[in-house]
Amino acid sequence: MLSILPGKKIAELDKSYAREVGISSWELMERAAESFVSWFLKGFSGVQEKVFIFSGPGNNGGDGLAIARLLSEKGFAVSVVLFSSKENSSVDWQVNFDKLPEGISRYQYPEIDFELASSAIIIDALFGVGINRALGGEYLEVVNTLNQLSGKKISIDIPSGLPSDSLVEGVAFLADMTVSFQFPKLSLLIPEHSKYVGDLHIADIGIPDSFLDQFGSNKSFVQASDIQKMHKRFDNFSHKGDFGRILLIGGRGGKVGAIILSTCSAMRTGSGLVHVWAEGASKDVIHISCCEAMVEGEKILDELDKFDALGIGPGLGEVPQDLLRNIFQSTGKPMVLDADALNVLSKHPELWDLIPKGSILTPHLKEFERLTGKSSHHFERLDKASEYAVQHKVYLVLKGAFTSISTPDGKQYFNSTGNKHMATAGSGDVLTGMITSFLGQGYDPLNASLCGVFHHGLAGEIASKTKARGMIATDIIESIPSSFLEMQID
Ligand SMILES: NC(=O)C1=CN([C@@H]2O[C@H](COP(=O)(O)OP(=O)(O)OC[C@H]3O[C@@H](n4cnc5c(N)ncnc54)[C@H](O)[C@@H]3O)[C@@H](O)[C@H]2O)[C@H](O)CC1
Ligand SMILES: [K+]
């Protein structure tokens, strides 16, 4: 799992890692440049466009110069645009400046004709995590000009102008892609910054996770290799009881579709037995839509103990708070709370401390707002999510791009899968079914949340390969099995 360190810790990280393994800071920069170039070659090998690299005065600019050299060695037509004099630039910048091969065109800003770069690939190496104020002067001018150009735009480490741990002030580079070193900076994961970041890629520069752990960050970025280790393994003697018996509660009135999506998702996630509590005409509809499920009447609420996990909320509609209160008081087991169950909690804070410890709440941004009030930006929302999780000893899954999972012990995990096509009706109901399924299969609440969120995103990515904008929640469900195959989970 990749620790996410604050920007101001990164210089210290570089220094102590270089000392530990006996390499120079220049060698670490070279690794970063090599890692960027190997990513670049995967997507841009053989393209005819010129490459323009805009290099600022610090080590981000130094990365840019090293990348210029490496790309030129690979045969790309590279130009660099410089801003500071050699003496006013960082030490490793100077080393890389001296290593620039003859074949690279050099321009000292403002002596550059932007017509030359109009359809070139633009690489932004103006500022990285060392930015300490809003862009001004010639940097503001150049970023404004670059933002108008039509070619592909790539940022090194972080789009110039974005601070690594707080909200942008003023102008920043609008990248199509950002290649961030070792781990994503927190700022790259917040919705307000997505238009600057574009597609995010993480370039490994060889600092082991265990080394990053020493810096004691409470935030981590979760990738496929982490998820693989979290899955439970079942053997050939396993029977359906081992895969858990769960109860989903919702689907009243006109919202039966929501609980059907959760039910089918839970089945596809591997639950052995899925029961659904529903009312009236909903019962038949559920039976027809998911014939593997068992549909229950109100009596089942007196037998909650026989279930390994509960998922409450999708399509539940408005219910008296007593329904939740009774459920909370009759089982101490962690459960998943979503949608209308969260709306009841928003109106009745007196229920918060009755929620069984270790339960998983899965609000989208609006539901979270109803629960904890308006936030002025996502950094504040993340802090509130963490506070809520710690205070009420629950897991808070805040849904959206890079869904965050806040834990009762104050940690925060960010998911790496999913895409914009998943912002479709019912997508959240699918997630509820998946997390409840993992919980019922005996995963602890953290692993159930992380695996649920990860596979939900991966299934969405798989489905959108053929469905793109036309993808619907049912397509995500159909792709859950492929997400297991892709991750080699049997
Ligand atoms: N482990 C890693 O991730 C590695 C990252 N590398 C790269 O190094 C940069 C960070 O380099 P640093 O020199 O600390 O900072 P910057 O390049 O961002 O620039 C700092 C430089 O700029 C001045 N400054 C700050 N803000 C402004 C402004 N608005 N206007 C003008 N000048 C400004 C500041 O005073 C400094 O002089 C990291 O992002 C990676 O790209 C290493 O290459 C290897 C390991
Ligand atoms: K940059």
pLDDT digits 0-9 by tens, 45-58: 988 889 999 999 99
Asked if pLDDT for residue 239 goes beyond 90, the answer is: no
Do residues 146 and 125 lie in contact, with contact meaning Cβ atoms separated by under 8 Å? no
Alpha helices by DSSP H, 336-377? 339-347, 365-372
Residue 225 — pLDDT band, cuts 50, 70, 90? very high
Do residues 308 and 442 lie in contact, with contact meaning Cβ atoms separated by under 8 Å? yes
Domain 228-486 has CATH 3.40.1190.20: yes
Asked if pLDDT for residue 278 goes beyond 90, the answer is: no
Q: Between 3.40.50.720, 3.40.50.10260, 3.40.50.10600, 3.40.50.300, what CATH number should domain 2-217 receive?
A: 3.40.50.10260
Residue positions in the annotated binding site for (6S)-NADPHX?
Answer: 59-63, 128-134, 139, 157, 258, 315, 364, 429
Q: What is the pLDDT of residue 262?
A: 97
> Who has greater pLDDT, 473 or 233?
473
CA-derived radius of gyration, the chain: 25
Residue 156 — pLDDT band, cuts 50, 70, 90? very high
Q: What is the pLDDT of residue 162?
A: 98
- Atom of ligand 1 lying closest to residue 13 CA: 1
Rounded CA separation 282/278 (Å): 6
pLDDT in tens, 376-433: 999 999 999 999 999 999 999 999 999 999 999 999 999 999 999 999 999 999 999 9
Q: What is the pLDDT of residue 241?
A: 79
Rounded CA separation 310/464 (Å): 29
Give the percent of the chain with pLDDT over 70.
100
Does the beta carbon of 131 sit less than 6 angstroms from any atom of ligand 1?
A: yes
- Which ligand lies nearest the alpha carbon of 122? 2
ipTM topping 0.95: yes
pLDDT in tens, 53-104: 999 999 999 999 999 999 999 999 999 999 989 999 999 999 999 999 999 9
So where are the chain's domains? 2-217, 228-486
Q: What is the pLDDT of residue 412?
A: 98
Residue 236 — pLDDT band, cuts 50, 70, 90? confident
Residue to mutate (ligand 1; options 2, 5, 10, 20; most atoms within 8 A of CB): 10
Does the beta carbon of 127 sit less than 6 angstroms from any atom of ligand 1?
A: yes
Ligand 1 centroid from CA 56, angstroms: 8
> Who has greater pLDDT, 372 or 209?
372
Q: What is the pLDDT of residue 223?
A: 95
Residue 274 — pLDDT band, cuts 50, 70, 90? very high
Cα–Cα distance list, 29 to 95, 161, 365 (Å): 11, 21, 38
- Which ligand lies nearest the alpha carbon of 130? 1
Q: What is the pLDDT of residue 47?
A: 87
Residue positions in the annotated binding site for AMP?
Answer: 399-403, 428
What average pLDDT does the segment 36-51 reach?
94
Residue 358 — pLDDT band, cuts 50, 70, 90? very high
What is the average pLDDT score of the chain? 95
Residue to mutate (ligand 1; options 2, 25, 65, 157; most atoms within 8 A of CB): 157
What average pLDDT does the segment 262-267 reach?
97
Q: What is the pLDDT of residue 431?
A: 98
407-419 as b/e, with b when 16 or more CB fall inside 10 Å?
A: bbeebbbbbbbbe
Q: What is the pLDDT of residue 242?
A: 83
Does the beta carbon of 57 sit less than 6 angstroms from any atom of ligand 1?
A: yes
Asked if pLDDT for residue 254 goes beyond 80, the answer is: no
